[in-house]
Structure 1
Amino acid sequence: MPRSPDASPQTLLVLAALLEAPDAWHYGYDLSRRLGLRSGTLYPILVRLAERGCLETRWVEAERPGRPPRHTYRLTADGRALARSRLAAAEPARARPSREVSGG
């Protein structure tokens, strides 16, 4: 399995979204809108995941003439395994109540 990317909250969000339809191809723009992540946050995550073998990437010709091709992303088998393990590991942390420190 490829080296695991950092599991930032944003990376976990992307992995969770991709895992909802793991065999489907996803457009970066659609992920950005759906997750509320800016392109400067989302695309570096997608690039890291792809470089580490967690995502397949491909270019798709535009549906309308004159539009540029679009990049799409899909989880690999290793990416699905990584997503499941990272999200499972994050669950206990989210379930823990936060400790508030009260003064005096």
Structure 2
Amino acid sequence: MTRTRRFSPQAEAVLRALAADPSEWRYGYELGREVDLKAGSLYPILMRLADRGLLESSWEEAPVAGRPPRHLYRLTGAGLAVAAEVAAKAAARSAAEQDRPGTQGSLRGAW
């Protein structure tokens, strides 16, 4: 039996950022700035996602002179499907929290 673990909030943020434009190759540094993760957290997430077949990676073809080539990342077809599933689950969790009595989004708790 295969056990799938839930993605961390940080991994979900990376998936969402990559899913915003799935055909676009993204640099790790750019992703880290967008999702507010330092390299020590971001790159292990990227490696795990790639190991699961959710990301493809490539080296920059024409690096700027004086700078080493950078790694690029984008979602695979499977990664895009997982990102959509993660987004749907997050939306369902958010809706459930808003509907809970005593929360701001609930009419039942507002009266």
Structure 1 residue 10, shift from structure 2 partner:
0.6
Match of 1:35 in 2: 35
Q: What stretches of structure 1 of length at least 5 have no aligned partner?
A: none
- The answer to whether the 8 Å contact 2:63/2:70 transfers is no
Say whether residues 1:9 and 2:9 are aligned partners.
yes
The count of residues paired between Structure 1 and Structure 2 equals 98
Quote the Cα distance in structure 2 between the aligned partners of 1:5 and 1:70.
30
CA 5–67 in structure 1, closer or farther in 2 if over 3 Å, else same: farther
Identity of aligned residues (%): 49
Match of 1:22 in 2: 22
Match of 1:45 in 2: 45
- Which is greater in Rg? 2
CA 15–43 in structure 1, closer or farther in 2 if over 3 Å, else same: same
CA 33–57 in structure 1, closer or farther in 2 if over 3 Å, else same: same
1:7-43 per-residue CA deviation (whole Å, 9 max, x = no partner) reads 1111111110000000100000001111111111111
Q: Which has the higher contact order (CA 8 A, sep 6+)?
A: 1
CA 56–12 in structure 1, closer or farther in 2 if over 3 Å, else same: same
Give the TM-score taking structure 1 as reference length. 0.84
Q: Which moved more, 1:29-38 or 1:86-95?
A: 86-95
Give the TM-score taking structure 2 as reference length. 0.79
Name segments (4+ residues, structure 1) moved above 6 Å: none
